[in-house]
Amino acid sequence: MQIKRFKHQHNIKKCYQTLEVAEDCEDETLKLAFISQAKRFHPDSGTSEADATKFSEIEAAYREIRKSRVKETEENSTNLPEVEEFDIKHTAPQHRHYLMYNVGIGTPSKRQKLYTIEKAQKAVDNVLEHRLKKLQAEERNTLVGMDKQRAKDIKTRFGMDRLVEDLIQEAMNKGEFKDLPGTGKPLKENTNTRNPYVDFVTYKLNEVLIENGFSPEWIQLSKEIREDIQNLRKRLISARNNVGHLPLNFADESAWKKIVDNFKSETKRINSKIDKYNLLVPILQKQMFHIKLEELAKEALSTPPQKTQTTTKYNSKNVNPDVSTEKDGLFGAIFSIFNNKAPICWDGSRVASISDCKLVPLPDIKTPTFFKGLNCEITSGET
């Protein structure tokens, strides 16, 4: 038995040496020593001294010492003398003398007066105590009281946030927020127009700016771009009236190409605005594509012209003496101009343009009364 006790004491000494503390140290010192050693040798600490074997030895030593100390405490408690306990836990105090108005001594009327005075005094004391508790509660909710209570409970990251929160709470306790307009009512907010990806502060700042007549730069650019594109379409449609119906002949096609080339600088200016707008717009779905002048020109060219006035003058010095034989070719050439078909020359053959026809002499016609219904003027050879 003594050998076992000696071995146990020897093991306890080795445990104290492992934790590097004295044998008569307090429990708190022992605990701090164990925590310090565990931080040094824990395998997950990431330090150069990390050792799983050493950590397990430290843990086993600490557990063994704690177990030994608990056992010693239990043995010491069993050696204490037993205290005799009485069966009667409570004895009623024998101080009551009267069943009614048990205050003081004397006649019942005298004791009644004393009872009334004592009851009033108790009421006054209760009122004073209630007021003191109320003042103490208000003092605890003030800035100084809250600092005392929450000195170690800092939940905010920045001191300014905490100061603002304290000031708000103090003002609420004083009742400064009771008469605010719209208290207890939901905020007026149009959730249909709000972007869910924009935080609440940015949204409210933009709302204030809009109410005061301000708008972001990308909104102004969007409006300008739409107006410029609409203006460009109108100008192209207006220029479309200067050429004839489709298909265009060689002269109209060259004229239309020159008109389209004149709008290239305007298209480049609008596309540069679109590039700037795409860099500023905060929403990906709001970005725009470059406009293509060829597509706008094709769209304008597909619309028929509003007014078509074609005035053709034929000046020929040589007049054909035989009108009856060439009448079909002459009328075919004139009507082909209005029907947008390939012109028919005087001899009945179709050509690319009226200028390719070979002029033949016409008979002497003094007045063009026969051609009054047409938008062309035929003059005789003798002018």
Q: Each residue of 344-361: pLDDT tens digit?
A: 454 445 444 445 444 444
Question: Over the stretch 99-126, which tens digit does the pLDDT of each residue have?
Answer: 788 787 888 899 899 999 999 999 999 9
Question: Over the stretch 69-97, which tens digit does the pLDDT of each residue have?
Answer: 888 888 777 666 666 666 666 665 566 67
Question: Over the stretch 5-20, which tens digit does the pLDDT of each residue have?
Answer: 777 777 888 888 888 8
pTM equals 0.31
Q: Do 293 and 233 form a contact (C-beta atoms < 8 A)?
A: no
Please give the residue that has the higher pLDDT: either 163 or 66: 66
Return the percentage of the chain with pLDDT > 90, whole number: 17
Number of Cα atoms under 13 Å in the Cβ half of residue 371: 20
Round to whole Å and give the CA distance between 12 and 3: 14
Which of 49-58, 182-191, 192-201 shows the highest mean pLDDT? 49-58
Round to whole Å and give the CA distance between 29 and 190: 63
| Burial (CB count <10 Å: 0-12, 13-18, 19+), residue 78 | exposed
Question: Over the stretch 291-315, which tens digit does the pLDDT of each residue have?
Answer: 999 999 999 888 888 764 444 443 4
Query: Hey, which residues does 376 pair with through a beta bridge?
Result: 312
Round to whole Å and give the CA distance between 173 and 167: 10
Residue 179 scores a pLDDT above 60? yes
Query: Hey, which residues does 377 pair with through a beta bridge?
Result: 313
What is the predicted pLDDT for the residue at 275?
94
